[in-house]
């Protein structure tokens, strides 16, 4: 298979200009959540943040949308972490919440081995490469059809497996204005991270201890969509930039800790935001010392060549 050429950035200006946090639209809830962070950690997170509110609608100007994607790619290449505020609509969050709630109600939740009383995972989708003793199914789990349509509005309606796609929901969506590709998907596609190994709602229950530090892969992006507001006390994802890690592009040298970066950074953010970070950066879910559970939808995105399944990868969204 011929190696895909790298398409690092849309323009030289996009890669050489650091995003100015002061240019972001105000977001009162996001600002409130940031107040719990130390100054250095807050400044680091602000450098990694964009607000998608102005362009996240079907009437948005294409040039404005393209400009935001350029900035997002630039931030990821420089900071290896990106938070997109106002990326998901209230309806999209509700669909994910309802899917998660219904699957939990029907016992479709696996409890983590390290802390069986406090952390759980509700798998919505598995690639063939995930099959094993702990994952005995592949494709979309029956009951997750609306979440699939929500995450990818251009999904096909011709699937012969009735459990794979909710045709009625698709028909309803067809009555709405045509949606564009999700912003997070445009960004992962730019880096050729088109293989999605899993879609899972991971819940840090009240009192959950911090995870052990770990990485998700060598080359890839981890995408996290919080289904509730995540402040410092709710167990936000914590990234450790002090440990050397591999760059986003194949062949990139290892990245050393930047002198002006906080050693560790917690990604506090309101529901509707999307967090993307280099899968080779050491990270963990921090302890949930708040009063509510913290469910987040997690997608592991990588190069198609990383799929170990027999016959190679398949498109998560297609039939």
What are 36-61's pLDDT values in tens digits? Answer: 899 999 999 999 999 998 886 656 78
Query: Collapsing DSSP states into helix, strand and coil, what is residue 294?
Result: strand
Distance CA(296)–CA(280), nearest Å, equals: 19
More confident residue, 129 or 100: 100
CB of 102 within 8 A of CB of 122?
no
Domain 25-306: which topology?
Answer: Jelly Rolls (2.60.120)
Question: Would you list the domain boundaries of the chain?
Answer: 25-306
Q: Which pLDDT value is given to residue 59?
A: 64
Tokens standing for residue 171: 């028909």
Q: Is 0.85 topped by the overall pTM?
A: no
CB of 161 within 8 A of CB of 234?
no
């Amino acid at each position: 298979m011929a190696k895909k050429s790298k398409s690092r950035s849309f323009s030289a200006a996009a890669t050489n200009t650091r995003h100015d946090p002061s240019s972001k639209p105000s977001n009162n809830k996001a600002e409130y959540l940031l107040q719990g962070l130390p100054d250095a950690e807050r400044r680091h997170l602000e450098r990694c943040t964009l607000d998608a509110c102005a362009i996240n609608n079907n009437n948005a100007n294409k040039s404005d949308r393209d400009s935001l994607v350029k900035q997002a790619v630039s931030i990821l290449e420089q900071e290896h972490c990106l938070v997109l505020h106002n990326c998901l609509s209230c309806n999209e969050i509700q669909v994910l919440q309802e899917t998660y709630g219904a699957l939990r109600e029907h016992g479709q939740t696996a409890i983590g081995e390290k802390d069986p009383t406090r952390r759980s995972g509700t798998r919505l989708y598995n690639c063939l490469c995930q099959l094993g003793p702990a994952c005995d199914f592949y494709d979309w789990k029956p009951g997750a059809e609306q979440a699939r349509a929500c995450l990818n509005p251009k999904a096909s309606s011709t699937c012969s497996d009735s459990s794979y796609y909710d045709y009625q929901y698709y028909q309803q969506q067809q009555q709405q204005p045509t949606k564009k590709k999700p912003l997070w998907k445009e960004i992962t596609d730019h880096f050729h991270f088109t293989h999605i190994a899993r879609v899972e709602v991971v819940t840090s229950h009240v009192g959950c201890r911090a995870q052990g530090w770990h990485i998700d892969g060598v080359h890839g992006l981890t995408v996290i969509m919080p289904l509730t507001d995540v402040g410092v006390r709710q167990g936000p994802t914590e990234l450790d930039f002090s440990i050397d890690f591999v760059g986003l592009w194949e062949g990139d040298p290892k990245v050393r800790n930047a002198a002006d970066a906080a050693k560790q950074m917690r990604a506090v953010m309101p529901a509707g935001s999307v967090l993307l970070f280099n899968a080779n950066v050491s990270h963990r879910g921090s302890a949930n010392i708040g009063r509510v559970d913290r469910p987040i939808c997690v997608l592991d995105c990588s190069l198609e060549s990383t799929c170990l399944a027999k016959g190679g990868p398949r498109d998560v969204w297609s039939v």
